[in-house]
Structure 1
Amino acid sequence: MNVLWIGGPPGSGKTTVARRLARLHGLRRYDSDARTWAHRDLAVKAGHPAALRFEELTPAQRAAAPMEERLAMWLQAERGPMTVADLRALPSSPLTVAEGTQVLPGMLPPGSRAVWLVPPAEVRLARLRARHGPGWAAELYLRLGELIEAEVERAGVAVITREDALPEVERFFAAELAAGPLARGPEERARLLREANEAVVEQYRAFFARPWSPDASETTARPFVCECADPRCDVQVSLVIERLPPEPVLAPGHRPWNRPERAGVSGQSR
């Protein structure tokens, strides 16, 4: 597998770093969150007790469950092999950058190139609170982070602790990025960006298909990556998930890959 692995606790910046790395270098991005419900469906089909229990409970009942039960329902160990299977099924070109809390030393194929992002706990907590809003309960995510940190420390693997991790991640993967294969041109880059956005749509369709889920697919907006031609762009565009247009998703003033830029004029973020 041509995969660059990024692991770490919730709130460590894995998704942001993977998104920016993929955009800058022309990589395919494996979004762990986008596979959550597909993995849960596999676990339910296999009769996994914690997966079945998760689907039986309401969100409020899950939040009130004992910590050990909540950790089991996270399916951390079960999702590792599922992630490897997903990645084996992807094309070998271009390189894929894969991230997720389930990326742990013990689940990786031999010879894998992997790094773990572990910024201070207070940094992670601030990011999670900003993401989930006031009143959000942090206990599960903090406990999961402690377990991931302990496993990473026992394995003695590569760890990055700084908040702005992208430069160090680029240096860590420098040889792999130089060797490639990378996207072969702007058209392939555009396809990879669309692929990432379509994965978000599928993620939320699978969530709203749950019997306990709110029927909000026609009104729920989520951020999608701008599909413009600038590899440095990190703008996200909020769209209702059921209204992903067939044409490129573009932030205001940004141009698609196949529209030439006029001399001396640029609408791209720098």
Structure 2
Amino acid sequence: MRTGEREESVRTRVLRARLRHVYWIGGGSGAGKSTIARRVAALHGLRVYSTDEVMSDHAGRSTPEDAPWLSRFKAMSMDERWVNRSPETMLDTFHWYRGEGFGLIVEDLLRAPAGTGVVAEGFRLLPRLVKPLLAEPGHAVWLLPAPEFRRAVFDDRGWEIPRRTGDPERARHNLLERDRMFTDRLREETGRLGLPAVEVGTGMDEDELVERVARAFGF
């Protein structure tokens, strides 16, 4: 093993040990990650760390050098972001999907008190980035919403993004298609890496999903 690889291996082992109290819930948009994280945390005496809630803070702490895709995204108009580009391009160039800012998530978790378990949740928790940090294989699960479930959530929320564009219907279509492809990517990645995933459909109630996530965590 070369020196750089040895140092990286040592650093990863240290991070894994320091984050052993963290339980991770990732997944596609609209899968219910925040709700399930809050309920599981309340049932088992854990704190919740929402990666969505710190996105603005992380964007402000990022530089063009360490987050070039975020920098390009911030320079675009709403139509450039959501209307004028294909869903495939939106997927491939979205900064959070490329893992930018994940190091800031780890920094936040390391700064928090380690005495109490934490449920970290959000779509930014990509399987390939989380797996090296898992002290236990069962400390992470990804929620994969079916297309009809995601559409129902989208319509219920009345998302603000499409309304702020010049073509809300096109923006809505693009967002739903991008999120479908992101969920497919998560499904492939969790399967390839041997990580737990739960398919979320319209026939699954919230209590059942809470139970399945808690069971995946070994509670």
* TM-score for both structures, normalised by structure 1: 0.58
Residue 166 of structure 1 corresponds to 210
CA distance in 1, matches of 2:58, 2:180: 22
Which secondary structure state, in structure 2, belongs to the residue aligned with residue 41 of structure 1?
A: helix
How many residues align structurally? 175
Which secondary structure state, in structure 2, belongs to the residue aligned with residue 161 of structure 1?
A: strand
Residue 97 of structure 1 corresponds to 119
Q: Residue 65 in 1 paired to residue 89 in 2?
A: no
> 2:41, 2:48 within 8 Å by CA — same for their partners in 1?
yes
CA distance in 1, matches of 2:157, 2:95: 19
Q: How does 1:1-270 map to 2 (within 5 A)?
A: 1=19, 2-44=21-63, 46=65, 48-63=67-82, 64-71=84-91, 72-76=93-97, 77-108=99-130, 109-112=133-136, 113-133=139-159, 135=169, 136-137=172-173, 138-162=176-200, 163=204, 164=206, 165-175=209-219
Higher relative contact order (CA 8 A, sep 6+): 2
State the 1:92 CA deviation. 0.6
CA distance in 2, matches of 1:122, 1:4: 28
CA distance in 2, matches of 1:30, 1:126: 26
Q: What are the Cα deviations for residues 43-91 of structure 1, in whole angstroms up to 9, with x where unaligned?
A: 3353532111111112222112344542323322123333222211111
Structure 2: gaps spanning 5 or more residues:
1-18, 160-167
State the 1:169 CA deviation. 1.3
Equivalent AA in structure 1 for residue 116 of structure 2: P
State the 1:29 CA deviation. 0.6
- Alignment root-mean-square deviation, CA: 2.2
> 1:53, 1:73 within 8 Å by CA — same for their partners in 2?
no
* TM-score for both structures, normalised by structure 2: 0.70
Q: What are the Cα deviations for residues 1-32 of structure 1, in whole angstroms up to 9, with x where unaligned?
A: 21111111111111110011222333211111
Larger Rg: 1
Structure number with higher helix proportion: 2
CA distance in 1, matches of 2:80, 2:145: 31
